[in-house]
């Protein structure tokens, strides 16, 4: 398995494709998660804090770097069922 290095990342960052659509997708998911959190708390807030997991991995099959953003589970679960986990937001950044 190829190691993730600074050079590998920078080689793939040269020609990022679909950057605008990826940014819009991330922004929309974050705003939706914030709206769900406000709704679940039942009040307006001065601000909302969310945590998310971001991973960056080499993808040898596609010859690219895969960026994955995982937002926290949504709100609205019950005592007997956990809140739903939103699907990850994924971008494959190629160097071609």
* pLDDT tens by residue, 47-64: 888 888 889 998 887 778
- pLDDT surpassing 60 at residue 44: yes
What is the structure's pLDDT at 95?
Answer: 59
Residue 38 falls within a domain, yes or no? yes
- Of residues 70 and 40, the one with the higher pLDDT is 70
Mean pLDDT of the chain: 75
CA 53 to chain centre: 7
Whether 16 shows a pLDDT value over 60: the answer reads no
Total tally of structural domains belonging to the chain:
1
Is residue 22 a part of any domain in this protein? yes
* Residue 1 domain flag: no
Spatial CA neighbour of 88 closest among 74, 68, 73? 68
| Cα 20 from Cα 15, distance rounded (Å) | 13
Structural domain containing residue 87: 6-94
């Amino acid at each position: 398995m190829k190691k993730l290095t600074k050079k590998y990342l920078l080689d793939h960052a040269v020609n990022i494709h679909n950057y605008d659509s990826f940014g819009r997708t991330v922004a929309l998911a974050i705003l939706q998660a914030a709206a769900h959190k406000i709704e679940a708390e039942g009040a307006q807030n001065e601000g909302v804090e969310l945590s998310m997991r971001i991973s960056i991995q080499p993808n040898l099959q596609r010859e690219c770097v895969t960026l994955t953003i995982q937002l926290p589970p949504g709100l609205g679960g019950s005592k007997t069922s956990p809140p739903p986990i939103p699907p990850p937001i994924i971008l494959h950044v190629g160097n071609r």
